[in-house]
Amino acid sequence: MDYDENNIFARILRGELPCEKLYEDAFALAFPDINPQAPCHVLVIPKGKYISMADFGAQASPEEITGFFRAVSLVAKRLGVEESGYRLLANAGPDSMQQVPHFHVHIIGGKRLGHLLAPP
């Protein structure tokens, strides 16, 4: 599967669609999820064109991988959920119902989340 240049997050990265930038560096951009599932629900996306975790893990450079995950942990800290705790979630592929085919991590927190998966 080829990377879809017109997926929503690609368009956000190009500045064609708005987002509230919470954090940005050379490797990552973070912004609130448009449909939050918890008091804190933020998306962190890599700047590079990767479809999924599998694509990112296989194709991204060590600098991109390190930079991205450092950004994720920094964003969680800045959001104030490091002490209270949070969940990282990355959907990949059809069974996960991944909606946007640009690799992203959800940072979810700000309340007691319950145990792992909600019923479909």
Catalytic residue numbers, as ranges: 104
* Candidate residues 34, 59, 70, 84; the one interacting with ligand 5GP per rule CB under 6 A: 34
Q: How would you class 46 by CB atoms within 10 Å of its CB: exposed for 0-12, middle for 13-18, buried for 19 or more?
A: buried
Q: Which of residues 88-117 bind ligand 5GP (CB under 6 A)?
A: 91, 97-100
Q: Does 72 bind ligand 5GP (CB under 6 A)?
A: no
CB of residue 104 to ligand 5GP, shortest distance in Å = 6
Shortest Cβ 4–ligand 5GP spacing (Å): 12
The Cα 42–Cα 97 span in angstroms is 18
Query: What does the block give as tokens for 35?
Result: 């449909």
How many residues contact ligand 5GP, by CB under 6 A? 14
- Strand segments (E) across the chain: 23-24, 28-32, 40-46, 86-89, 105-109
Q: Which is nearer to ligand 5GP, 63 or 88 (CB)?
A: 88
Examine residue 7 and tell whether it contacts ligand 5GP (CB under 6 A): no
Q: How far apart are CA 79 and CA 116, in angstroms?
A: 21
